[in-house]
Amino acid sequence: MDDHLTGILSNIGVISFVALSAYLLLLTGEISFGQQAFFAIGAYTAGIVTAMWQLPFWLGLGAGAAAGGAAALFVGLPTLRLHGLQFAIATLAFAEAVRILFELFRYQVMRDGEPVGPNGIEGFPNIRYIFENDVSATQFMSIIYGLLGATLFGFFLLERSRLGVAFRMIGQDDLLAAAQGVPVFRVKLIAACLAGAIAGLGGGLYAHLTTYVEPAIFDVMLGVHSLAYGLIGGLGTAFGPLLGVAIDIGLLESTRWFAGYRMIVFGGLVAVLLIVRPRGLLDERLVHRIRRIVSRRPPPAPASATILGEESS
Amino acid sequence: MIPFIQTTLDGLMVGSSYGLLALGFALIFGVMRRLNLSYGPSIMVGAYLGTLLYIQFGAPTYVVAIVAVAGSVMAGVYVERLCFAPLGVGAGVASMVSSFAIWMQLEQASLLMLPRHSYPFPSLTSSELLSLGPLVVRPDYLIMLAAMLAITAALHVLLYRTRFGLGLRAIVENSVAASLSGIDVQSTMLKAFALASAIGGVAGFLVLSANQQVTAMLGMWATLKGLIAMMIGGLGSIPGAIVGGLVLGVIEVHSQTLFGPQVRDLAAYGVLFVLLVLRPGGIFGTTAISESVGHRGGDRWTTT
């Protein structure tokens, strides 16, 4: 596999984490413009742990995810009582504030005679753990997809759990969910925390993939894109946001077919797509249909065919 | 004391541009209960068309102004036809994402037109400062303030004294009932959208002529500032938009003088966040055009 393709696939994998994070909140019916903040927090935390404190990679990733989840809890407590646009704008305000705080954040240590660490608007270069430990690009890609697979498996389990049902119930109608005994606020807080941790994990991977992060990467554009991925790909399953990312980065950003006109093509495609399918390509109805086809049992043998009513004895 | 008053005055002047931007936003949100993220990029298309005429053919300032407003209206109508009209009520989220997609499109189209990061823009007045006793103001900002007040007054008359305004308010109240009483909902919404884009175009032209340059950041800037000002003032409220804009301007300019340019935006976002948490409806609480924001159902942005 050549380096270019590996790079694109790794990029798709990493961005999928932010898209999944926004998707998780979409399940509960909330729109967040701010998931990039947790991605940024995860990236900086993981970078600080491995590049500055010289601790192992897995610890860095874990710390990134934990920091993302903790930050989401912190923001979720005051904001999750808000609805719709108010929640969306509150998350936007938070994320932009975080980005500006990273512009002001300076924390460096000397390593091999050179300063290492976040340096305000200049960013945080030399997160070189991957290179220093001889992890090849392909190996790192497998790590990314391994973790992405684990996250998707987590979503698979979630969809089958009471918690997952509660998410979708709240997404449909939170008043009705509350009337059915779902602790709406607590369930939403869990969703926000999980979403923050997923974004934080992705951020840690991103920092080590690019070896360099700067505040400007984590602007509103990233947040709105990750939200759009879920809506393009579809809200039916966790594969929806992945499909969205693959379409945008895989088809448009990485090929040179539409050079100069990429955004015009992408924008038009999405707008037309949303007219035809307002809930994305893989929407709930399609997913349900696929699931029915997959799980359909083979027809019973002719001998056991009975007329209705005679069977019960 | 004088420096403090001067800073506050500067803030009010800057705030009047935010107020103008928020007016267009509030009009769209007030009528449709949907967020048009393409609002800023529509303004950008108009401004870039005007700039193109200005630097290519040396068009006079009034031509640039007309083209900026007309271009913004054209782009706005395009957005409405593609992202809002076909999706219908009940698709607030899809409309918003769709308008974001068109944002990308409009921005790239503008950049294909004029690829450099910044271009000169014709100025409206001389850059001499007017002095009011110990205080000074820039004349172009005074024009902006006057324009804001004039547009607000005109909008008020339009909404409360004309048949069009009555129809608009009826749609806000209940679009099905409005349609049953013979109001053409689609065309009224399109007109409201075009009107909002025109207000945005005016705002964009005045801001750019005060800055005497246009940059590629215009689209994002206009959407964010208009949105923040509207949220501070109150969702979809016309007086709220004005007050929100002025408050935002005063906060920004004060924090810039005290702590520097990076803290300027930080303070604005901080205030917005705290305000939303403590008073989600904005300063003006419930909205002026309508007081009901749909809370129930999967899509909470629809008129219910």
Nearest CA distance, B258 vs chain A (angstrom): 16
For B38, name the nearest residue in chain A, comparing CA atoms only. A267
Query: What residues of chain A lie within 8 A of the CB of B41, using their CB?
Result: none
Average pLDDT over residues B217-236: 89
pLDDT at B159 over 50: yes
Tens of pLDDT along B3-40? 899 999 989 999 999 999 999 988 888 888 888 999 99
Give domain status of residue A292, yes or no.
no
Give domain status of residue B56, yes or no.
yes
For B83, name the nearest residue in chain A, comparing CA atoms only. A271
Instruction: Give the three-class secondary structure for A119.
Output: strand
CA–CA gap between residue B194 and residue B213 (Å, rounded)? 25
CA–CA gap between residue A153 and residue B284 (Å, rounded)? 46
Give domain status of residue A179, yes or no.
yes
Quote the domain boundaries for residue B239: 2-117+134-278
Rounded to the nearest integer, the mean pLDDT of chain A is 87
pLDDT at A63 over 60: yes
Query: What residues of chain B lie within 8 A of the CB of A249, using their CB?
Result: none
Tens of pLDDT along A136-162? 889 999 999 999 999 999 999 998 899
Give domain status of residue B236, yes or no.
yes
Query: What residues of chain B lie within 8 A of the CB of A78, using their CB?
Result: 277
The half-sphere exposure of A144 on its side-chain side, counting CA atoms within 13 A, is 29
The token duo for B17 is 């541009």
Q: Write A176-182 long-range contacts (CB < 8 A, 24+).
A: A176/B296
- The CATH number assigned to the domain holding B172 equals 1.10.3470
Average pLDDT over residues A291-296: 82
CA–CA gap between residue A108 and residue A95 (Å, rounded)? 23
Quote the domain boundaries for residue A10: 3-219
Percent of chain B with pLDDT over 70: 92
Most A CBs within 10 Å, among B82, B96, B99, B102, to test the A interface: B96
Measured between alpha carbons, how far apart are the two ends of chain B, in Å?
Answer: 50
User: Hey, is the C-beta of A101 within 8 angstroms of any chain B C-beta?
Assistant: yes
Nearest CA distance, A275 vs chain B (angstrom): 6
Q: How many other C-beta atoms are found inside a 10 Å radius of the C-beta of residue B84?
A: 26
Average pLDDT over residues B102-123: 90
pLDDT at B294 over 60: no
The Cα angle at residue B208 between residues B121 and B222, in degrees rounded to 5: 140
pLDDT of amino acid A112: 78
Tens of pLDDT along A76-126? 999 998 877 888 889 999 999 999 999 999 888 888 778 888 988 888 988
Tens of pLDDT along A6-28? 988 999 999 999 999 999 998 99
The beta-carbon neighbor of B231 closest among A89, A267, A279 is: A89
CA–CA gap between residue A206 and residue A39 (Å, rounded)? 9
pLDDT at A135 over 90: no
Backbone angles phi, psi at B214, to 5 degrees: -125, 135
Q: Which of residues 28-57 of A touch B (CB under 8 A)?
A: 29, 31
**Residue A213's closest CA among A107, A125, A144?**
A125
Yes or no, beta carbons of B277 and A227 under 8 Å apart = no
Q: Domains in chain A: how many in total?
A: 1
Confidence of residue A279 (pLDDT cuts 50, 70, 90): confident
**What is this model's ipTM?**
0.85
pLDDT at B72 over 90: yes
Query: What residues of chain B lie within 8 A of the CB of A101, using their CB?
Result: 266
Yes or no, beta carbons of B276 and A83 under 8 Å apart = no
pLDDT of amino acid A17: 96
- Higher confidence at residue A195 or residue B34? A195
Give domain status of residue A245, yes or no.
no
The model's pTM: 0.86
Q: Domains in chain B: how many in total?
A: 1
pLDDT of amino acid A5: 86
Rounded to the nearest integer, the mean pLDDT of chain B is 86
Give domain status of residue A242, yes or no.
no
Give domain status of residue A249, yes or no.
no
A193, burial (CB in 10 Å: exposed 0-12, middle 13-18, buried 19+): buried
A26, burial (CB in 10 Å: exposed 0-12, middle 13-18, buried 19+): buried
Tens of pLDDT along A198-226? 999 999 999 999 999 999 999 888 988 88
3-state secondary structure B119-173: EECCCCCCCCCEEECCEEECHHHHHHHHHHHHHHHHHHHHHHHCHHHHHHHHHHH
Q: What does each C-alpha distance from B131 to A187, B134, B139 come to in angstroms?
A: 58, 7, 10
pLDDT of amino acid A1: 64
Give domain status of residue A224, yes or no.
no
pLDDT of amino acid B297: 35
